[in-house]
């Protein structure tokens, strides 16, 4: 089946007891045992599994073309599940511009635990190759990256990881399985903040790990999901699954709007640089055109001037909301260096945009007014 059909039907079934077309939310934390002590319906206790989580995991698997999925309480919890499935003493290669929460997890939580990480410019495969060590077990890819929208050649990094005997994990949050299919490029796992496009309405926090093969590494991720209890609630799972039903159409509209906004900004005299992989002059455009089916809804731009000039634009917009996060129906603007804090590598004059589903011309009018 094609992806639009999977998004509507995977993980969905008519409720057998009522005929409800929309799945019920099962809040029960515990499930009945048979007289012989067995659980023929497969559910024991909600932390282990529950019908809403099972349905979401089934749908995520179908969308990514994977063999198994584990839903988590947030994107960060999903990343934690992957890192903790490694062993102290293992070595990770990660992008220097990974989502700042992922870098912080590696630096502040997993370095003291014994995981060593080398941060490289993942858009340069030679750097990834050079960072390989005998204990390298994982190569983390995030593409397009945050907030400079740098594009990594997934297939090339997979080759390097596999030659080193390591797994390649792709944070596919920004592209979603609609625009990018890392398993087709050889990646072993994908990670998602379902908080973003999959949920799609800025009303649920969640995460997921999807595996191409249900192997021993994924079994460890599953064990961590259940034993550490880093699980989403049934309602959260229901909301993400509901969001996914419209994901293919939303991603197309996000991409179309972002292309128009980025094109407009690229010709504005008050703009120093625009970062959007859909623009022909973007350094990663060729790779993005090859490995993506659309360039996504995220863009960033540097205002001519300094931090105050950028803050001035963010202060003047009316339609864009000044807020962090991304992937909802509404457009957001963010001075990224402020949220990343001390040590950020993000230029001070950069504003990140999450382009929503409004009419692109209204978004352009709003930016035009703010840029003067």
Region of residue 350 (phi > 0: left; psi between -120 and 50: alpha; otherwise: beta) = beta
Closer Cβ to ligand PLP, 195 or 291, answer by number: 195
Residue 6, SS3 per DSSP: helix
Which of 90, 153, 171, 366 is flagged as catalytic? 171
Distance CA 50, CA 233 (A): 9
For this structure, is 43 an active site residue? no
Q: Which of 174, 183, 179, 186 is nearest to 292 (CA)?
A: 179
Residue 287, SS3 per DSSP: helix
Q: How far is the CB of 173 from ligand PLP (least distance, A)?
A: 4
Q: How far is the CB of 79 from ligand PLP (least distance, A)?
A: 6
Distance CA 100, CA 121 (A): 14
Q: Which residues make beta-bridge pairs with 333?
A: 322, 353
Closer Cβ to ligand PLP, 79 or 349, answer by number: 79
Q: How far is the CB of 292 from ligand PLP (least distance, A)?
A: 15
In sequence order, which residues have a C-beta less than 8 Å from that of residue 329 and are 6 or more positions away?
200, 201, 202, 250, 356, 357
Residues 176-215 that bind ligand PLP (CB under 6 A): 193, 195, 205, 207
For this structure, is 304 an active site residue? no
- Site membership for ligand PLP, residue 236 (CB under 6 A): no
Which of 52, 74, 136, 152 binds ligand PLP (CB under 6 A)? It is 74
- Which one of 5-13, 73-81, 222-230, 363-371 is the stretch in contact with ligand PLP (CB under 6 A)? 73-81
For this structure, is 280 an active site residue? no
Distance CA 182, CA 252 (A): 18
The answer to whether 103 and 56 are in contact (CB under 8 A) is no
Which of 84, 173, 202, 349 binds ligand PLP (CB under 6 A)? It is 173
Binding mask 284-323 for ligand PLP (x = CB under 6 A): ----------------------------------------
Q: How far is the CB of 102 from ligand PLP (least distance, A)?
A: 6
Residue 179, SS3 per DSSP: helix
Binding mask 86-125 for ligand PLP (x = CB under 6 A): -------------x-xx-----------------------
- Site membership for ligand PLP, residue 146 (CB under 6 A): yes
Q: How far is the CB of 76 from ligand PLP (least distance, A)?
A: 3
Residues 153-172 that bind ligand PLP (CB under 6 A): 171
Closer Cβ to ligand PLP, 229 or 372, answer by number: 229
Residues 336-365 that bind ligand PLP (CB under 6 A): none
Q: How far is the CB of 280 from ligand PLP (least distance, A)?
A: 25
Which of 140, 174, 264, 320 binds ligand PLP (CB under 6 A)? It is 174
| DSSP secondary structure string for all residues of 208-266 | EEEESS--HHHHHHHHHHHHHT----HHHHHHHHHHHTTHHHHHHHHHHHHHHHHHHHH
- Site membership for ligand PLP, residue 6 (CB under 6 A): no
Residue 224, SS3 per DSSP: helix
For this structure, is 223 an active site residue? no
Which of 53, 90, 97, 99 is flagged as catalytic? 99
Q: Which residues make beta-bridge pairs with 140?
A: 169
Ranges of beta strands (E only) in 3-111 are 68-72, 91-95
Ranges of beta strands (E only) in the chain are 68-72, 91-95, 116-120, 136-142, 167-171, 189-193, 207-211, 271-275, 298-303, 321-322, 332-335, 350-354
> Hey, how many other C-beta atoms are within 10 angstroms of the C-beta on 223?
14
Q: Which residue is nearest to ligand PLP (CB)?
A: 75
Closer Cβ to ligand PLP, 52 or 176, answer by number: 176
The secondary structure element, H or E, covering residue 8 is helix 3-9
Q: What counts of helices (H) and strands (E) characterise the chain?
A: 15, 12
Q: Which residues are catalytic?
A: 47, 99, 171, 196
Q: What is the binding site for ligand PLP (CB under 6 A)?
A: 74-76, 99, 101-102, 142, 146, 171, 173-174, 193, 195, 205, 207
């Amino acid at each position: 089946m094609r992806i639009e059909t999977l998004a509507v039907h995977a993980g969905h079934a008519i409720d057998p007891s009522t005929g409800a077309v929309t799945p019920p939310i099962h809040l029960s934390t515990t499930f009945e045992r048979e007289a012989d002590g067995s659980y023929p319906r497969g559910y024991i206790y909600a932390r282990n599994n529950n019908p809403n989580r099972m349905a979401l995991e089934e749908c995520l698997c179908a969308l990514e073309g994977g063999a198994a999925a584990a839903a988590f309480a947030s994107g960060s919890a999903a990343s934690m599940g992957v890192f903790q499935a490694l062993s102290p003493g293992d070595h990770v290669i990660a992008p220097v511009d990974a989502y700042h929460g992922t870098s912080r997890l590696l630096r502040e939580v997993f370095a003291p635990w014994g995981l060593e990480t080398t941060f490289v410019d993942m858009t340069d495969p030679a750097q990834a190759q050079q960072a390989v060590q005998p204990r390298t077990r994982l190569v983390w890819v995030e593409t397009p990256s945050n907030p400079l929208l740098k594009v990594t050649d997934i297939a090339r990094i997979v080759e390097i990881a596999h030659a080193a005997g390591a797994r390649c994990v792709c944070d596919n949050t920004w592209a979603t399985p609609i625009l990018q299919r890392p398993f087709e490029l050889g990646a072993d796992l994908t990670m998602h903040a379902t908080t973003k496009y999959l949920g799609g309405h800025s009303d649920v926090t969640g995460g997921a790990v999807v595996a191409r093969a249900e192997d021993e590494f994924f079994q460890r991720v599953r064990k961590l999901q259940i034993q550490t209890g880093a699980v989403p609630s049934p309602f959260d799972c229901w909301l993400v699954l509901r969001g996914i039903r419209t994901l293919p159409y939303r991603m197309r509209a996000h991409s179309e709007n972002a292309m128009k906004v980025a094109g407009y900004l690229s010709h504005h005299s008050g703009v120093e640089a625009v970062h959007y992989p859909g623009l022909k002059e973007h350094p990663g455009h060729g790779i993005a055109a090859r490995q993506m089916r659309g360039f996504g809804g995220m863009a960033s731009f540097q205002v001519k001037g300094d931090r105050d000039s950028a803050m001035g634009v963010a202060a003047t917009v009316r339609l864009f909301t000044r807020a962090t996060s991304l992937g909802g129906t509404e457009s957001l603007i963010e001075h990224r260096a402020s949220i990343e804090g001390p040590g950020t590598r993000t230029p001070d004059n950069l504003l990140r945009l999450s382009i929503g589903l409004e009419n692109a011309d209204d978004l352009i009018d709003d930016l035009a007014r703010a840029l003067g």
